[in-house]
Structure 1
């Protein structure tokens, strides 16, 4: 398993975990159920941990793919910049989730406020994760790029066509 593969393995959970966490937290708030809210807090904490793993594997993934055809340093740099901002939001969400779970368990008066702060941070993280996920997908999936004219079809590039034929054998 190379660094790019490892990055792909860990980078999906921060996004998916955030969205599941948001849905579960909203459900917990509406049902006024601390167990459900605590489940969402744990998801946010785990998403933040996986976000750290994803950030840690990003540089190695960049080294693997930066010289591939149809992948430029600019698109990787854009993804990296978005990922850094998303990671900070994710870490903040994880910290507030940790504070929220402690406040809920200890039955602090401010537990409800911490829930709302966690939800707001998670919603912002969720919105940011869409951009990060899309920019990451655009690195190898040229078909989803805004301007995919730069993507060269395999049959128009003989060296790529040969490479794909060799994979089929």
Structure 2
């Protein structure tokens, strides 16, 4: 396995865990269950930890792709989106840690805080989708727009 393969193997975890956590948190809100909400917070915290190796292997993956032509703009776009996603993932993990504590201690704002975390999760999932799509464009020409493909074809002929 090369460095790009490690990145591809690891990058799905921080994308999938917030989806799972979101579904669990929605269930915890609908059923008003403190235990289910705690499980969701744990999933979000785990997702934040999963972001670290995915992010760190990204730099190594870039070195593996340096021999490919015309992917640099796609890599730069992906790096920018990945940085935003990673920051949101870490923020969600920290807020979930606080949400777990407030839920455990039965603070008066614990339910309100769960809605805040749910909202942050939706925002983060939008960034997750953008990050995943921009990463896919690096090697998957079938998901590039026609303008992106035309630009690369023009650069090849020059």
TM-score normalised according to structure 2 size: 0.89
RMSD of aligned Cα (Å): 1.5
Structure 1 residue 67, shift from structure 2 partner: 2.1
Structure 1 residue runs of 5 or longer lacking an equivalent are 153-169
Write out the 4+ residue segments of structure 1 that deviate beyond 6 Å after TM superposition. none
Aligned length: 151
Q: How far, CA to CA, are the matches of 1:141 and 1:47 in structure 2?
A: 25
Q: How far, CA to CA, are the matches of 2:66 and 2:128 in structure 1?
A: 22
> What is the aligned partner in structure 2 of residue 13 from structure 1?
13
Structure showing greater radius of gyration is 1
Structure 1 residue 104, shift from structure 2 partner: 0.9
What does residue range 91-106 of structure 1 map to in structure 2 within 5 Å?
91-106=90-105
Q: How far, CA to CA, are the matches of 2:128 and 2:31 in structure 1?
A: 27
Q: How far, CA to CA, are the matches of 2:87 and 2:8 in structure 1?
A: 20
> What is the aligned partner in structure 1 of residue 52 from structure 2?
52
Q: How far, CA to CA, are the matches of 2:126 and 2:71 in structure 1?
A: 25
Q: Are 2:124 and 1:111 equivalent residues in the alignment?
A: no
Query: Relative contact order: is structure 1 or structure 2 higher (C-alpha 8 Å, sep ≥ 6)?
Result: 2
> What is the aligned partner in structure 2 of residue 165 from structure 1?
none
Structure 2 residue runs of 5 or longer lacking an equivalent are 154-158
Q: How far, CA to CA, are the matches of 1:10 and 1:114 in structure 2?
A: 30
Q: How far, CA to CA, are the matches of 1:66 and 1:76 in structure 2?
A: 10
What does residue range 11-160 of structure 1 map to in structure 2 within 5 Å?
11-69=11-69, 71-147=70-146, 148-149=149-150
Structure 1 residue 149, shift from structure 2 partner: 4.3
Change (3 A) 1:149 1:143: farther
TM-score normalised according to structure 1 size: 0.84
Q: Deviations over 1:63-95 (max 9, x none)?
A: 1013214x4211100000000001111111111
Q: How far, CA to CA, are the matches of 2:108 and 2:94 in structure 1?
A: 18
